[in-house]
Chain A
């Protein structure tokens, strides 16, 4: 079945760039997502990328997609302490229920002052 993998922890200094990586196995994935979860809260969509795109930029966030290697990354520029959270990579397939996403285990980002 589908599988999404990501490293569990990342620690950076405030002001540095953070890069969170993700690999997935389903070649039929249509949308790939990054969700953010703050302590004690539900997940919120941070950004998404359609499978026919290589890159998407949104303010401090840059998403890179290598479809050949099934590799997705999220870069956060000028990381702030408020960016400390768990970041989930997820994928879904077009043509089926688009909201039925498969999630990775989450990467806990710690930003040190």
Chain B
């Protein structure tokens, strides 16, 4: 079972460059999320997609854009990377069906991004 797959796992960018982080899940989940993890700051929600065709801002959306390409895929784009975006990025998914619906998040392994 692949679960949630993120690519790339590592990336180094120069300030001002753009890139897209890809995420795909094979669990038929409705909802998908992008979090960033910084030392001593836990996980902070960047954007989420409650269902196919919808996206909403999370806690720290500035400097990012997202696309929910289909039910399986949710990408995160940095249009003009800044050193403050150096972080570990996690994609996650969850289902909104089932009883009880616990809201459990299933995470990918993370993408480590360094912006010089």
Write the residues of chain A forming the contact surface with B, with a CB cutoff of 8 angstroms: 4, 8, 31, 33, 35, 40-45, 48, 50, 88, 92, 97-101, 103-106
Contact = CB atoms under 8 A, between A and B. Distances in A.
B33 A99 contact: yes
B103 interface: yes
B62 interface: no
Given A48-B102, A97-B31, A97-B50, A42 B42 contact: no
Interface string B64-91: 0000000000000000000000000010
Interface string B1-15: 000100000000000
Contact of B96 (A42, A43, A98): A98
Going nearest first, the 5 A-B pairs with the smallest beta carbon separation are A98-B103, A99-B94, A42-B107, A105-B42, A103-B43
B96 A106 contact: no
Contacts of B41: 105
A1 B44 CA distance: 13
Given A88-B43, A100-B48, A103-B42, A42 B109 contact: yes
Contacts of A8: 40
Contacts of B103: 31, 92, 97-101
Contacts of B92: 42-43, 99
Interface residues of B, number: 28
A65 B105 CA distance: 21
* Of listed A8, A50, A92, residue having the most chain B CB within 10 A: A92
A61 to B, nearest CB: 15
* Of listed A45, A92, A97, residue having the most chain B CB within 10 A: A97
Contact of A43 (B101, B102, B105): B105
Interface in B100-116: 100-105, 107-110
B90 A43 contact: yes
Given A42-B110, A103-B42, A97 B48 contact: yes
Given A97-B103, A101-B103, A105-B40, 10 more contacts: A42-B110, A43-B90, A43-B92, A43-B107, A48-B102, A50-B100, A98-B94, A99-B94, A100-B103, A103-B43
Nearest to B29: A99
